[in-house]
Amino acid sequence: MSSKKTNQNGLKIIIVGCGKVGSTLVEQLAGEGNDITIIDTNASKVTEIANLYDVMGLAGNGASFSTLEEAGIADTDLLIAVTESDELNLLCCTIAKQENNCAAIARVRKPEYSKELPYIREKLDLAMIINPQYESAKEASRILYMPTALDVNSFAHGMAEMIKFKIPDDHLLDNKRVMELSSYDIRNILICAVERDGEVFIPSGQFMLRSGDVISFVATRKNARIFLEKVGFKTTRVKNCMIVGGGMSSFYLAKELINMGIEVKIIELDKARCEELSTLLPTAIIINGDATNQELLKEEGIEFVESFVPLTGIDEENVMLTLFAKQVSGAKVITKIDHINYKGVISKLDLGSTIYPRYITTEAIIKYVRGRKNSMDAGNIETLYHLFDNRVEAIEFRVRELSAVTDVPLKDLKIKKDLVVAFINRRGKILVPSGLDSIQLGDTVMIVTKHTGFHDLADILE
């Protein structure tokens, strides 16, 4: 077992599985002061990650009691199992719960388990079961419901949304200050982050918008549509979608879209998988063929589809398919990226909306961990998203007790720079606050900030 410096401030966490999600979790959670031990059967991978992030590493089977015992399961606060095997993940959690009754989180991806996840979670007493393919599909479906958006994140149980879009050339928002939006009779929206030339800003009212800026704003779904329509963007959902690849992600996305009344066509190379999909998705059109063949894509109507989503298991193939779709059609495109080795290059390509399943998984887990650090009974972080390549966090806190931030007008609080209070959810009503408004007990409050690692709403103060 490789060693690490012990940190007494955070939780003691065991992570089983050093794949894409496991390594991303280590990077994030170790950086937030937690005591991390990683387990994987691949000894070289364990050594590499342990040395890179200065964490404890153990080569072995995470479902073995002796391995978990050596990793320190007896005094562990949380076990996270994110191996490639659903069954192994569930077994790791079960053994951990039997030995220590610590909190446990499992990644479970197979569609056959999807209807049983609430039952499995309850019976195994798990803190969370996360399905990255299903969560990615939900994110993609939200974007296709509002195709103008590059990204759509949901807050306050769906009552509020953060929407990202790019200002086109010669657009009416070009050379407008944020405060001038009121002249368009646009109310109850808040522009909370702007990316320009690789730099991210938390804008004040004086901030001047420019064409090419990528804007994130917060509003209710109704007000978001009103805003986008007033500034000249299409807000109706797509009518049809072409999906490339027939894996789990494609199945989940197709099911979401069909339930929304959107026509779906899937192109998959494996004939046996096509037959399975035809049974699982009887209203979808399933095409057996090679989508890297441009002529096949044209025969199947890529030039006329309203949306196009490549979901192969190869990032490079997804990128090339997206670029081809943008070249020959006006389709809304979404690109799934599993690896991030070339993120700098990818960010410079016009790939439409991009989805990173590993980040969707880690955000859900990090939200839970931060909540546990603040309160071992009930966390106060309702929602957490990382934005603009992890340079900005959007966090929704629940106000469970009175503190230095409650019952004080926002204008009188000494709030940190590069931070904005985006909305207050008070008994189901979304309020975009002014300086005269105050945070009250029972509210949920969303903040957007360039700072990282907030565990409690009081962290917003200087």
**Domains of the chain: which residue ranges?**
12-130, 240-355, 359-460
Q: How far apart are CA 277 and CA 251, in angstroms?
A: 8
Helix axes 357-374, 132-145, angle to 10 degrees: 110
Cα–Cα distance, 267 to 110 (Å, whole number)? 20
Sheet with 307-310: list strands edge to edge.
285-288, 263-268, 240-244, 307-310, 332-336, 353-355
Cα separation values, 271 from 246, 282, 427, Å: 10, 16, 52
Look up residue 397 and give its two tokens: 């806190």
Amino acid, single-letter form, for residue 164: K
Secondary element (H or E) of residue 394: strand 392-398
Spell out the per-residue pLDDT of the chain, length 462, in tens.
Answer: 544 444 445 899 999 999 988 999 999 899 888 999 999 999 999 999 999 999 999 999 999 999 999 999 999 999 999 999 999 999 999 999 988 889 999 999 888 888 888 899 999 999 999 998 898 999 999 999 999 899 998 899 889 999 999 999 989 899 999 988 876 666 789 999 999 998 999 999 999 999 999 999 999 988 898 889 888 888 888 999 999 999 999 999 999 999 999 999 999 999 999 999 999 999 999 999 999 999 999 999 999 999 999 999 899 999 999 999 999 999 999 999 887 666 666 767 888 898 988 888 888 888 888 877 655 444 588 888 888 888 999 999 999 999 999 999 999 999 999 999 999 999 999 999 999 999 999 999 999 999 988 888 999 999
Looking at 375-414, list the stretches that DSSP marks H as alpha helix, in order from N- to C-terminal side.
none
Number of residues written out for the chain: 462
Q: How many CA atoms lie within 13 A of 219 on its CB side?
A: 18
Residue 143 CA to residue 62 CA, distance in Å, equals 37
* Distance from C-alpha of 93 to C-alpha of 102, rounded to nearest angstrom: 9
Topology (CATH level 3) of domain 359-460: Alpha-Beta Plaits (3.30.70)
Most distant CA atoms of the chain, gap in Å: 67
Q: Look at the domain 240-355 and name its fold.
A: Rossmann fold (3.40.50)
Q: Do 34 and 369 form a contact (C-beta atoms < 8 A)?
A: yes
Element (H, E) at 40: strand 35-40
Tell me, yes or no, if the two domains 12-130 and 240-355 fold the same way: yes
Q: What are phi and psi of 235, to 5 degrees?
A: -125, 0
Cα angle 381-447-107, degrees, rounded to a multiple of 5 = 40
Domain 12-130 sits in CATH at: 3.40.50.720
